Amino acid sequence: MARPRSPGFDAQREQLLAAAARLFANQGYTATTMQQVADAAGVGKATLYHYVRDKPALLAGIAGGHVARLQAVVDEVAAEGLRAEAHLARLIECFLRVYAGAQHEHRVLTEDVKFLPEPEREALLAGQRRVVQAFADAVAAIRPDLAPAGLAKPVAMLLFGMINWTFTWLRADGALTHEAMAPLVTRLFVGGLAALPSQALSASG
CATH number of domain containing 27? 1.10.10.60
* 40 and 65 in a common domain: no
pLDDT the model gives residue 179: 87
pLDDT the model gives residue 171: 82
Residue 33 has phi, psi (to 5 degrees) of -105, 160
Please tell me the total count of domains within the chain.
2
Angle of CA points 160, 111, 74, to nearest 5°: 40
CB distance 95 to 153 below 8 Å: no
The answer as to whether 2 is a domain residue is no
User: Percent of the chain having pLDDT more than 70?
Assistant: 93
| Domain boundaries, position 15 | 8-52
Task: Name the average pLDDT for the chain.
Answer: 90
* 125 and 38 in a common domain: no
- pLDDT confidence bin for 193, thresholds 50/70/90: confident
* 68 and 30 in a common domain: no
The answer as to whether 31 is a domain residue is yes
Print burial letters for 22-47: b (CB count within 10 Å at least 16), e (below 16). bbbbeeebeebeeeebbeebebeeee
Average confidence (pLDDT) over 152-177:
90
HSE of 60, CA atoms in CB hemisphere, 13 A: 15
* 112 and 16 in a common domain: no
Q: How far is CA 30 from the centre of its chain?
A: 21
CB distance 183 to 89 below 8 Å: yes
Closest by Cα among 158, 140, 157 to 149? 140
Give the separation between CA 28 and CA 37, rounded to whole angstroms.
12
The answer as to whether 1 is a domain residue is no
Dump pLDDT digits (tens) for 96-153.
999 999 999 999 999 999 999 999 999 999 999 999 999 999 999 999 999 999 999 9
pTM: 0.87
Residue count (the chain) = 205
Dump pLDDT digits (tens) for 79-111.
999 999 999 999 999 999 999 999 999 999 999
Contacts of 110 (CB under 8 A, 6+ apart): 164, 165
Residue 1 has pLDDT above 90, yes or no: no
